[in-house]
Structure 1
Amino acid sequence: MESWRAKATAWLPRFAVVAHDLFMVWLCWQGLHQLRYAMLVAPPEYPLWSVEIAIVLAAQGLVFWQIGLYRGLWRFASVPDLWNILKACAIGLVAIGLGLFAYNRLDGVPRAVLGLYPFALAALLGLPRLAYRAWKDNQQAEFREGAAIRVLVMGAGRAGEALLRDLHRSGGYVPVGLLDDAANLRGTRLHGVTVLGTLDEAPTVARETGAKLIVIAMPTLEAAAMQRVVAICESTGLPFRTVPRLVDVLEGRSLPGELKEVAIDDLLGRKPVTPDWKLIRGWLGGRTVLVTGAGGSIGSELCRQCARHGAQRIALLEIDELALITTEADLRRAFPDLEVISVLGNCGDPAVIAHALRIAEPDAVFHAAAYKQVPLLEQQLREAVRNNVLATETVAKACRDAGVASFVLISTDKAVDPANVLGATKRLAEMICQNLDDRKGTCFITVRFGNVLDSAGSVVPLFREQIRQGGPVTVTDPEVSRYFMTIPEACQLIVQAAAGASHASIYTLDMGEPVLIRTLAEQMIRLAGKRIGKDIAIAYTGLRPGEKLHETLFHADENYRPTSHSKILEARAREVPAELVAWALQQLRAACNDYDLEEMSRVLRSAVPEFSPVEAVEQAGANIVLFPARDSRRPR
């Protein structure tokens, strides 16, 4: 009984709407006839009900139902709904004409009635809907006026228009004004909200309107413009949020309509990457991928990118059990149809990698497992050699012996003219892969990139924690700079490079402009709503062991050339004697077994002759080297 009552209650409003619309059809048909007959000297009597009217109601009602007029809600009636109504009225006229033609050959039906019918009926149906929505909006606005947060919106474009619609529908925010630099928009109204001035007038307008929150509705702004807007928002002293970029919504990192804090990557000049999805899907579609270090920042995102772009099965190889469990759970939740294989163990163990390759039978292997903390590895040479060099050789050889089609080594810009243990071990790993590629079997690919925003152990989470604790934020040197990119962007470009790679190739990703770490720290402090030097101090501690002042992306002898993707360049691999690499591996393996740090250091310097201490690099005077694609010289 209760179920029946619930269903009846749910259907009651819809029956009322149907009844309203059919009444309007009757009123329209009657009214048009009365209007037409009123022009005659002796108007005939037109009945209130007849077979003709029944046919009109039946034909039009059927069209309404088929068009889907009752799937929408009056509360959210909009222009698309009005267009739907007009379409239903026009099609209804055709149905009525056919019905009446079959009944009485349209005898006695004035042509003027037929011509005016769809427009008159559309007005009779549309106006009540819009009036109801306006009444509900006004009612809701009055209800929330007292307790709602007063919002000042920066940007009167499409994003601003969509934001206003969302704010009007929400119960917690009231838009009090718009700001936009377009002079022709000043004084205009958008969804009832006035454009009150330019962006620079935000402090004055915010004070006059009593705004409590500023929302930046300009998701396509480049870094320099976003920095300016953020500075304006900070000058008001009010909290501010931004609408997400379309790419963040599509990639699942933000929800539509969500207001989020301005992130540091919004200010670093990173334009959205547009990979060649067709190429990537053609390479990954229906295939199996194995990722070493699958629980790390890069490894886990590589898994997500591969799953998103068509991989049928992904094998996770990870030594950290919690990281393995977390990545596996994330993949199963986000991609329920994906086959996930988990292997817990050290990829440098020949038995572990052989087992993983045997059960997964991958078409491609992404080798992301590595140690990467520069200062720590300066004091942990053996582990750096064991994990970054010897484990890479073990995995690479196992992939070659198993007939894996593609092996992708995730390298670093620190492998170019290495000045630290991380760079030297990664450079030797590159040399190993280069020598294993015989141009016939497994395709060995190396992809280099710099620092990744918000990766585990990187400077961004460190600064965030220091700010949370009240400072100081520690920066090594006022002039130190680094290249940065986001984790999803780096992984997209890795997959893009691998999809179109040739044998023994080395690719470098466009990292954008180098960023001063001092500037990064200052921006993060401001975004946290703190004042530099007053709330949070910045302390300069000096360069740590193995750190360069600036990084470079290419070795002088690696002539570069463009690829099919504007953000990826291919370096010409330097010739490396196979005997040298074999000798170095033999000596390093023996030195690791004996824990002979001096021998490991000597062999590493011999195998990687460009490896020199960071002090020598600084004395020579390092320069910031921009990505060659932006150089005035043409790529060679």
Structure 2
Amino acid sequence: MKNKPSLSNRYVLVGDLILVVISVLGSYALRLELGPQFFDYLPSALWMIGLAFIIKPVVYYLFGLYQRIWIYASVEELKLIVAAVTAASVLLAGGMVVALSLGAFVGLPRSVLVIDWLLSLILVGGLRFSFRLMAESRGPAAILVTQPRRVLIVGAGDAGALVVREMQKNPQLNLQPIGFLDDNPAKQKQQIHGVPVIGTLSDLAQVLERQNVDEVVIAIPSAPGRVVRVIADIARLKGVPFRTMPGIYELLGGKVSVSRLREVDISDLLRREPLQVNEGIVGEALSGRVVLVTGAGGSIGRELCRQIARWGPKLLILLGHGENSIFETLLELRESFPTLNLQPIIADVRDRPRLEVVFNEFRPEVVFHTAAHKHVPLMEINIEEAITNNVLGTLNLVEVSLTYLVERFVFISTDKAIRPVNVYGATKRLAEMIVLNAAQRSGGRYSVVRFGNVLGSRGSVVPIFKRQIAQGGPITITHPDMKRYFMTIPEAAHLVLQVAGMGRGGDTYLLNMGQQIRILDLAEDLIRLSGLEPGRDIEIVFTGIRPGEKLSEDLWDEGVSLRVTDHPDIFRVEHQEVLEGEALYRVVTELIKLAREGERERIVALLDEVIPGSAIRSTPPPELTSVV
């Protein structure tokens, strides 16, 4: 297989040599016509052919025109041809002028040099693009053995055009684009790659009724969830399968292609319109830096690693306690970013000596701390673990970061840290205080980012609901009015990186989570996306509120004011009530001591005493049956 491009390009070289003769003689013929003057200038034409034989193939080779597979030629190859032919013509013109001055021949019509350039451009480009035309003309007959699926593309932008072009170039996909739908008036009744724009998004239902459509493809990566929801609902009601291009944050660092098409997921229905971001401050914070991510095998940690990799860090350290999850993150990043310098570290944040060794060896400059025990019911049962992992682990990481002069430290917190009614939320609030206190002590850029639930994270409600649907139901929900803030994992990670760039130190940032969403609505959406109907195919059962849960969440304490930042989806909390200095360390030390002694009741009492608005003691005792 390796010899095939080389062999075909030998024929291209022979073709170029033939075209040299045609181009030069054609230039003279066009300039002088086939009269006496043509033969008078024939010596200069022969000299020009001889020089062109030497110069043009060499220049074309240096520009890579013999290292291409021309059946995949595109606009980039066209630019390359123009540059190569122009460079060769300039050198040829110089050679002819030198030969004329040395008396090699008499007379040179200067215009033939320009005509030769134009002819070479046409002939050299035409020869190469003919390979692509021949490949495309014979491809479908050789490959298609079944009737292709008729595909309607929603979105006539760059993504839609690229998807259609890939379908046309690859007949083995067995997909035939029949038309676009787009709301841009300027695109109506136009064609893209020979495929017409046949209407707007509001025409979707009518088009599905009139046209024999086998599949709908949503090719608008920037589309907000409400648009995806409308398209998906109409296609489902008409019985037409539908797929989508991932959202813009999922595509960061990747390419739009047919291979990226996937089933519409719940995250697509809830994503928001992407906003302009300040890439400069993110690049300044990450590019060329040593970056460490704790919990790198988790949902948020892994997505942070994916997006950090785009910025070309000097070294990306993947730190986690679970070897399997770190290994999976490592494999994914090596596949997507083969040149990235990666260092997987299996370590527990509770093991301070191990952290000291890691920081001393690799000297991280930026730290993202996502590692935590997060499942509310499990932490109600395992209070000691919540303290040692979420509080002691954060303390260890912060202290080691201060010792080794980490420039930026971003702690990932939760809306459950506000007026907590569970142990998990209280431990995260105490961890926030540890980070903010470190910023005050050191003056470093140590910041807290607080947001709600992320869709699809491990152990979250979405994977649980999907498993229940796959088993035929029922879906279990604690209460019909239970609401939560939700954000997609890529959106959350993207905004966290913005905070890393803008963080001044000692600040708590809130991400705009939008409106709270009823868990019941989420479950019904998931059932419909599975091709089923709520209540008819999948039953929904209400089990009662679990210990440590609230009907809705808060993102900040009462009486606390928010300040806008340079990013419209990020806010800064002003004047929080926090423990500081010696008071904070006395509480933390006491909690760690109680955790090691197994004093659960005293731990809860102390948390209620020191955390603003905490009401953990009023939470009913946990039951194992309420964990999921």
Normalising by the residue count of structure 2, what TM-score does the alignment of the two structures yield?
Answer: 0.82
1:522 aligns with 2:514: no
Distance 1:468 1:55, change over 3 A: farther
**Structure 1 contact 200–232 (Cα < 8 Å) conserved:** no
**2:555 alignment partner, one of 553, 556, 572:** 553
Name the SS for the 1:13 alignment partner: helix
CA distance in 2 between counterparts of 1:214 and 1:370 reads 41
**2:607 alignment partner, one of 604, 609, 618:** 604
Deviations 1:601-620 (A, max 9, x none): 22221112401269899xxx
Deviations 1:254-309 (A, max 9, x none): 76763233333222133446554433443445544444434322334444555553
CA distance in 2 between counterparts of 1:443 and 1:87 reads 48
CA distance in 2 between counterparts of 1:577 and 1:558 reads 18
**Structure 1 contact 405–441 (Cα < 8 Å) conserved:** no
Deviation at 1:552, TM superposition (A): 1.7
Q: Which residue of 2 aligns with 1:368?
A: 370
Q: Which residue of 2 aligns with 1:137?
A: 136
The equivalences for 1:289-304 within 5 A come to: 289-304=291-306
CA distance in 2 between counterparts of 1:33 and 1:434 reads 80
The equivalences for 1:111-190 within 5 A come to: 119=118, 122=121, 133-144=132-143, 146-147=145-146, 148-171=148-171, 172=173, 173-182=175-184, 185-190=187-192
Distance 1:237 1:590, change over 3 A: same
Q: Which residue of 2 aligns with 1:568?
A: 570
CA distance in 2 between counterparts of 1:8 and 1:581 reads 70
**Structure 1 contact 291–303 (Cα < 8 Å) conserved:** yes
Consecutive unaligned residues in structure 1, runs of 5 or more: 38-42, 618-636
Q: Which residue of 2 aligns with 1:270?
A: 272
**Structure 1 contact 156–195 (Cα < 8 Å) conserved:** yes
Distance 1:263 1:132, change over 3 A: same
CA distance in 1 between counterparts of 2:208 and 2:272 reads 30
Name the SS for the 1:457 alignment partner: coil
**Structure 2 contact 151–214 (Cα < 8 Å) conserved:** yes
Q: Which residue of 2 aligns with 1:591?
A: 594
The equivalences for 1:528-547 within 5 A come to: 528-547=530-549
Distance 1:54 1:243, change over 3 A: farther
1:17 aligns with 2:15: yes
The equivalences for 1:165-244 within 5 A come to: 165-171=165-171, 172=173, 173-182=175-184, 185-206=187-208, 209-244=211-246
Deviation at 1:167, TM superposition (A): 1.1
AA at the equivalent of 2:44: E
Deviations 1:588-633 (A, max 9, x none): 344324423222222221112401269899xxxxxxxxxxxxxxxx
Distance 1:368 1:52, change over 3 A: same
CA distance in 1 between counterparts of 2:392 and 2:17 reads 79
The farther-off stretch of 233-242 and 139-148 is 139-148
Q: Which residue of 2 aligns with 1:53?
A: 45
The equivalences for 1:139-538 within 5 A come to: 139-144=138-143, 146-147=145-146, 148-171=148-171, 172=173, 173-182=175-184, 185-206=187-208, 209-245=211-247, 247-252=249-254, 258-272=260-274, 275-328=277-330, 330=332, 334=337, 338=341, 340=343, 342-344=345-347, 346-400=348-402, 404-440=406-442, 444-538=446-540
**Structure 2 contact 377–546 (Cα < 8 Å) conserved:** yes
CA distance in 2 between counterparts of 1:203 and 1:413 reads 40
Name the SS for the 2:262 alignment partner: coil
Q: Which residue of 1 aligns with 2:625?
A: none
CA distance in 1 between counterparts of 2:517 and 2:121 reads 59
**Structure 1 contact 203–235 (Cα < 8 Å) conserved:** no
**Structure 1 contact 153–178 (Cα < 8 Å) conserved:** yes
Deviations 1:133-183 (A, max 9, x none): 445433323445552333222223332222222111102222233333445
**Structure 1 contact 202–236 (Cα < 8 Å) conserved:** no
Q: Which residue of 1 aligns with 2:624?
A: none
**1:75 alignment partner, one of 71, 74, 91:** 71
**Structure 1 contact 151–176 (Cα < 8 Å) conserved:** yes
Name the SS for the 2:571 alignment partner: strand
**Structure 2 contact 166–258 (Cα < 8 Å) conserved:** no
Deviation at 1:81, TM superposition (A): 5.7
Deviation at 1:450, TM superposition (A): 1.3
CA distance in 2 between counterparts of 1:511 and 1:365 reads 24
Q: Which residue of 1 aligns with 2:59?
A: 66
Q: Report the number of matched residues.
A: 608
AA at the equivalent of 1:158: D
AA at the equivalent of 1:53: A
RMSD: 4.0
CA distance in 2 between counterparts of 1:75 and 1:359 reads 50
Deviations 1:526-552 (A, max 9, x none): 333333344434333333222222222
Distance 1:149 1:508, change over 3 A: same
Deviations 1:426-452 (A, max 9, x none): 222223444455434665432212112
The farther-off stretch of 401-410 and 565-574 is 401-410
CA distance in 2 between counterparts of 1:452 and 1:503 reads 25
The farther-off stretch of 472-481 and 456-465 is 472-481
Deviation at 1:422, TM superposition (A): 1.6
**Structure 2 contact 445–506 (Cα < 8 Å) conserved:** yes
Name the SS for the 2:603 alignment partner: helix
CA distance in 2 between counterparts of 1:589 and 1:82 reads 67
CA distance in 1 between counterparts of 2:140 and 2:522 reads 41
CA distance in 2 between counterparts of 1:299 and 1:597 reads 30
Distance 1:232 1:51, change over 3 A: farther
Deviation at 1:224, TM superposition (A): 1.9
Distance 1:54 1:294, change over 3 A: same
Q: Which residue of 2 aligns with 1:32?
A: 30
CA distance in 1 between counterparts of 2:596 and 2:232 reads 55
Name the SS for the 2:250 alignment partner: helix
Report % sequence identity: 35
AA at the equivalent of 2:46: A
AA at the equivalent of 2:43: V
The farther-off stretch of 370-379 and 265-274 is 265-274
Deviation at 1:578, TM superposition (A): 5.1
**Structure 1 contact 248–254 (Cα < 8 Å) conserved:** no
Normalising by the residue count of structure 1, what TM-score does the alignment of the two structures yield?
Answer: 0.81
Deviations 1:189-211 (A, max 9, x none): 33222333333444554465533
The farther-off stretch of 445-454 and 353-362 is 353-362
CA distance in 2 between counterparts of 1:92 and 1:310 reads 37
**Structure 1 contact 545–614 (Cα < 8 Å) conserved:** no
Deviation at 1:359, TM superposition (A): 4.2
Consecutive unaligned residues in structure 2, runs of 5 or more: 621-628
